[in-house]
Structures are given as structure tokens and as C-alpha cells.
Amino acid sequence: MKALLLRQLGDLDRFPAPLELSEVPDPIPGPGEVLIRVSVCGICHTELDEIEGRTPPPSLPVIPGHQVVGHVVQCGPRPTALGPGARVGVAWIYSACGRCEHCRRGLENLCPAFRATGRDANGGYAELMVVRQEFAYPIPESPMTDAEAAPLLCAGAIGYRSLRLANLPNGGRLGLTGFGASAHLVLKLVRHRDPDAEIFVFARSEAERTFAKELGASWAGDTADTPPALLDAIIDTTPAWRPVVESLRHLAPGGRLVINAIRKEHGDRDALAQLDYAAHLWMEKEVKSVANVTRRDVTEFLHAAAAMGLRPEVQEYPLEEANQALRDLKSRSVRGAKVLRIA
């Protein structure tokens, strides 16, 4: 099969083509696993974190990609709940132990044996992949195309988890710092569920700010701008530290900042030196990180998206242009979500 292999790590600015299109053996499903013929795979900022070494794969080469949509073509020896032909998705959570304290409490995202698709196991930048059947998600019946469904599996699911953790009150004011795939899906979800909520978007790009307003944002400004009101909750999706410090300044008393990022880049850590307790943290403000996703997050968001008719904004790339897609993602030159077309 054709697959994109990551063979070495490096900064994308100096290493512009990290993925190598290769022929590799077809994977074979083991007991309880399913073999999926991949149709599309979403492109996520986490791939940049892997390639540039902020969350490196434990071994190389590896096939990246964790927003996978395709069809089951074969089941392993043990019976599974999924049969050939089923349209399924695979998300960031490739597996968890199911036995530890975190798993028993429904927090498998915190499992010490958590394995990530496309980092700890081969992912969806390939024509075929295998996964345990309980970590493959039937895609609900809806008009969504495969390309539109792909971002729901990570950008959507992690945005959904972030929104739950934000504790936004009905009719509250929500800030979104950064406006990529995840934030635009959160905006659409909040606008559908709570028309009285006000959404404030902070983005460096004028194009992203315009896009946010088109989708119903009440206000959009630069990261350093001051919004017209203090905010009940803010979800930060940026790779940098400065927006975190700025966001705390914009929180209302008792507000919560949720950091939706698997890693932060090191380049602007000096911004943390500007943190002032009185201006940024006093008045019972909270900071909470988001770690991975659970199967519940993915399943609930897939069904919520289908019920509300959510259609993500996507731009597709052929498999051969994956390196260009990653460069576009890093430069934030494409609005919405980016998706690789495999078949």
C-alpha cells in the first residue's frame, strides 16, 4: 500500500518535506481488530508537534494521521461489532488499558498506557490501517462527506471536551484564542446550542478574524486587543504562551481558561515573565489543560454534529501534497480544516 512515512524529526521551516511517500506492506488485522481502507485523513497541528519534536513518536519511521475516515474491509479472527462495509472513523485515542484507576473512572485520556494514533501506532496517512474495533467509531448517517467528517474526530472532539471543561454558563461570553479547525467547530456548536451566547475571537490573521465574523462571532480582534467585555471562559488553541497570558487578563472574576494544546512552543516562554498575580490570576480565575480525548468525547460529538447538521469548512489535498498541506497549516494560510484525500 501507499503510505506517508515520517523518518526523521526537524523544524518544518528548515525541513520542508518531512513525509516520504512510500510503498509498505499491507497491515493485517489481529484478534478484535479491523482493517480500514482509508478514504480521507484530517491534518492536525499535532502532526507539526510530532514532526518538530514537541511530542515525538517513540520510534521511527511512523505513519502519522489521527482524523481517519474510511470503510472496514476485513475483521480479525475474533468477532467484532463492526462488519465489512461499515463507514468508521479513528481518532487520536488509539488505545488505553481499560484497567487503571483513570480508565475505570471514565478518564481513559489520562491512562498511563494511552497510545496515540499516528504517533504511538501507525495512523491514517495511508491507504490502509488497523485498529481495535472498540476504538473505531461508526460515522452517523448524515449528509456529511468523508472529508467533512474527518475534522470531527479530533478538532471537533477535543473542542467539544474543551467546551465541557470551560463551564460556560447559558448566555455567557466565550473567548476563542486562535481560529483554526477546532475553534471554528466550537463556534458553530455554541451558536447552535445557545443563540444567546456571545463569542469573542482572538486571531493574528485578518482573514481568520473575518471568517470568525462570517460564522457569527460577536467580536474579533488580534491577540493583543482588548475585547469590549470580560469573558466567562476562554479556550486557547494556539501553540504559543503569549496568548495564554493575554487571555487571563480578559477573564471575568471566577472565569476559566482552558488550554487546548498538546504542547506549547518554546520560542515565547519569556511571555510568562509578564504574568502578574493581581492582573491575571486573582479573583478566583482558573486555568485548566486538556489532555487527549476519550471515546465518549468522540462518540458524543459525532452524534451532536450529525443532529445539528454541522458541516465543517474543509480544504482537501491529495496524498502527494501532504508536505505542502503541513506548511500551509503552519503558516495558517488555509481557513477551517485541512484534509488529505487518500482514495
CATH assignment of the domain containing 101: 3.90.180.10
Do residues 167 and 282 share a domain? yes
Domain identity same for 277 and 206: yes
pLDDT exceeds cutoff 80 at 108: yes
pLDDT of 278-305, one tens digit each? 889 999 999 999 999 999 999 999 999 9
Residues 240 and 172 in one domain: yes
The grid cell for 342 is 487518500
Do 214 and 275 lie in a common domain? yes
Q: Which of these, 57, 72, 54, 74, lies nearest to 19 by C-alpha position? A: 57
Reported confidence tier of residue 273, pLDDT bands at 50, 70, 90: confident
What is the residue-averaged pLDDT of the chain? 94
Indicate the pLDDT class of residue 80, thresholds 50, 70 and 90: confident
Task: Judge if pTM exceeds 0.85.
Answer: yes
Whether 216 and 314 share a structural domain: no
291 against 269, higher pLDDT: 291
Same domain, 277 and 332: no
Q: Which domain holds residue 63?
A: 2-152+293-341
Which pLDDT score is estimated for 264?
85
What's residue 274's pLDDT? Answer: 86
Residue 184 shares a structural domain with residue 97:
no
Answer yes or no: do 184 and 262 share one domain: yes
What is the model's pLDDT at position 219?
98
Can you give the CATH number for the domain in which 204 is found? 3.40.50.720
Check residue 268 and give its pLDDT. Answer: 74
Q: Are residues 80 and 66 in the same domain?
A: yes
Residues 124 and 249 in one domain: no
- The string of pLDDT tens digits covering residues 33-63 is 999 999 999 999 999 999 999 999 999 999 9
Number of compact structural domains in the chain: 2
What's the whole-number mean pLDDT along residues 304-330? 94
Q: 201-214, pLDDT tens digit by residue? A: 999 889 999 999 99
Residue 336 pLDDT class (50, 70, 90 cuts) = confident
% of the chain residues with pLDDT over 70: 99
Residue 8 shares a structural domain with residue 148:
yes
Residues 100 and 141 placed together within one structural domain of the fold? yes
Three-state DSSP string of the chain: CEEEEECCCCCCCCCCCCEEEEECCCCCCCCCEEEEEEEEEEECHHHHHHHCCCCCCCCCCECCCCCEEEEEEEECCCCCCCCCCCEEEECCEEECCCCCHHHHCCCHHHCCCCEEECCCECCCCECEEEEEHHHCEECCCCCCCHHHHHHHHCHHHHHHHHHHHHCCCCCCEEEEECCCHHHHHHHHHHHHHCCCCEEEEECCCHHHHHHHHHCCCCEEECCCCCCCCCEEEEEECCCCCHHHHHHHHHEEEEEEEEECCCCCCCCCHHHHHHCCHHHHHCCCCEEEECCCCCHHHHHHHHHHHHHHCCCCCEEEEEHHHHHHHHHHHHHCCCCCEEEEECC
Read off the pLDDT band of 65 (50, 70, 90). Answer: very high
Looking at the chain, the whole-number percentage of residues with pLDDT higher than 90 is 85
Question: Is residue 269 predicted with pLDDT exceeding 80?
Answer: no
State which of 116-120, 236-240, 241-245 shows the largest mean pLDDT: 116-120
Tens digits of residue pLDDT in 178-237: 998 899 999 999 999 999 999 999 998 899 999 999 999 999 999 889 999 999 999 999
pLDDT exceeds 80 at position 330 = yes
Burial 29-47 (b: 16+ CB within 10 A, else e): beeebbbbbbbbbbbbbbb
Q: What is the pLDDT of residue 267?
A: 67
